């Protein structure tokens, strides 16, 4: 039995498409006709994927699979399994509920492999861009322990928590970035359009201009006449920075620098602590071995310095030591976090302690994001006012001097 992608027209004349398994293309055409669908195109799933890769589909560029889509599908699968539905039948029911074509194709391929005797974890490995190593390892642990439905529910909650955390961080960064872009755009407009028109009246002055007005005119001339050079320098700087950051040394130095930036550095560490704690707790609670769990957790941090620290902790665990000591010695993770991990290791409640840490830092992130937003808003307004006021001062002072000379 193969998997086919089809397009057709239903009894109401509407265009329909989907993915369905059948013995052959002819057999699928018969099945669709029985359902009131006139098939206009039927392709094997692999052939349809190749055709989709060749065609430019602007809608699909923006229709990416989000963690929310995966979380919803995972929760639905967990509910079906908890209700006693067999895995293959649960996957079939899930596929009928999915709207995203790529996610639907992934679960269809997964169902077919499971139907052929593969484990669910091995079937999910074929789609690493959708189901990350964390997802696959948790599913494998759930299958091995016979608690797959519970692990899937825990995994869905984890994905929801990670999505909320990312939204908080993006919300904290979005406002200052947008405001900075607006300030730069207004400054560029004033220096390249407004200032040259106003300062053109100074050309007939027989009096020396104040130094700050001369500097303003000089900067305005650069913006007006050499904007293309500024754009080229900006583009070249961004390109060079991206190339430098892509190197191992550049990435390490940048990650170290970011952690020491006021306001944003502490927030980054809070996010890393919350992500580390929740990920490790979720993996350990799902039955994933501690070394594998720490290796997966290390890869979700996104900061090379913190990843190095976790790798050192992993090696300590391999040698029979605990997690807390190397994390504390590194000096990057907060003492309260390493203390709670140490207590969890001594009492055998490491998962619970890690979840307490994650919840506590999630709350701190929310408070810090609110504080940053309330601070950055007036700061950016003041900066904007100072820039505009400085430009106005540099223009008005010569005009006032000219007025005094005329009187």
Give pLDDT tens digits for 129-166. Answer: 888 888 888 888 888 878 888 888 888 888 888 888 77
CA-based nearest residue to 327, from 360, 279, 349, 294: 294
Q: Give 289-305 as a DSSP string.
A: -HHHHHHHHHHTS--HH
Q: What would the pLDDT profile of 72-124 be if each residue is shown by its tens digit?
A: 899 999 999 988 888 888 998 888 888 888 888 889 889 888 888 889 989 99
Confidence (pLDDT) at 243? 92
Domains and CATH numbers, the chain: 2-55 (no CATH), 67-160 (1.20.81.30), 161-407 (no CATH)
**Can you name the residues that pair with 43 across neighbouring β-strands?**
5
Query: CA torsion 68→71→72→73, rounded to 10°?
Result: 120
44 bridge partner residues: 4
* 31-59 pLDDT tens trace: 878 887 777 777 776 555 555 554 444 44
* Contacts with 218 (C-beta within 8 Å, 6 or more apart), sequence order: none
pTM comes to 0.67
pLDDT digits (tens, 9 = 90+) for 278-333: 888 888 888 888 888 888 888 778 788 888 888 888 888 888 888 888 888 888 88
CA–CA distance, 257 with 115 (Å, rounded to integer): 50
Q: Look up residue 81 and give its two tokens.
A: 């399994």
Q: Write down the number of H helices and E strands in the chain.
A: 19, 3
pLDDT bucket at 241, cuts 50 / 70 / 90? very high
């Amino acid at each position: 039995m193969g998997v086919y992608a089809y397009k057709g027209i239903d009894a109401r004349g509407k265009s329909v498409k989907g993915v369905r398994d059948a013995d052959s293309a002819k057999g699928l055409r018969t099945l669709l006709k029985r359902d009131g669908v006139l098939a206009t195109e039927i392709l094997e799933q692999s052939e349809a994927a190749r055709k989709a890769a060749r065609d430019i589909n602007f809608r699909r560029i923006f229709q990416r699979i989000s963690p929310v889509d995966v979380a919803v599908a995972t929760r639905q699968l967990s509910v079906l399994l908890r209700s006693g539905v067999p895995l293959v039948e649960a996957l079939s029911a899930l596929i009928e509920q999915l709207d995203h074509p790529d996610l639907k194709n992934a679960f269809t391929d997964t169902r077919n492999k499971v139907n052929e005797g593969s484990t669910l974890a091995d079937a999910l490995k074929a789609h690493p861009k959708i189901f990350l190593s964390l997802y696959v390892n948790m599913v494998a642990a759930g299958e091995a322990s016979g608690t797959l439905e519970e692990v899937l529910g825990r995994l869905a909650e984890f994905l929801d928590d990670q999505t909320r955390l990312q939204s908080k961080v993006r919300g904290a960064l979005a406002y200052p970035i947008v405001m900075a872009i607006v300030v730069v755009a207004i400054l560029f407009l004033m220096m390249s359009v407004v200032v040259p028109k106003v300062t053109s009246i100074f050309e007939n002055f027989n009096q020396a201009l104040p130094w700050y007005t001369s500097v303003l005119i000089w900067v305005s001339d650069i913006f007006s006449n050499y904007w293309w050079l500024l754009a080229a320098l900006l583009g070249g700087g961004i390109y060079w920075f991206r190339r430098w950051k892509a190197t191992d040394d550049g990435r390490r130095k940048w990650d170290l620098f970011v952690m020491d930036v006021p306001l944003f550095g502490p927030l980054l560490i809070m996010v890393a602590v919350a992500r580390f704690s929740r990920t490790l707790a979720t993996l350990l609670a799902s039955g994933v071995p501690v070394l594998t769990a720490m290796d997966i957790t290390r890869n979700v941090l996104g900061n090379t310095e913190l990843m190095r620290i976790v790798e050192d902790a992993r090696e300590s665990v391999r040698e029979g030591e605990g997690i807390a000591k190397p994390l504390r010695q590194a000096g990057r993770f907060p003492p309260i976090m390493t203390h709670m991990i140490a207590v969890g290791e001594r009492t055998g409640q490491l998962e619970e302690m890690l979840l307490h840490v994650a919840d506590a830092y999630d709350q701190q992130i929310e408070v810090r994001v609110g504080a940053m937003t309330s601070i950055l808003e007036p700061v950016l307004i003041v900066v904007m006012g100072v820039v505009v006021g400085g430009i106005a001062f540099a223009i008005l002072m010569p005009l006032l001097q000219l007025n005094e000379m005329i009187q």
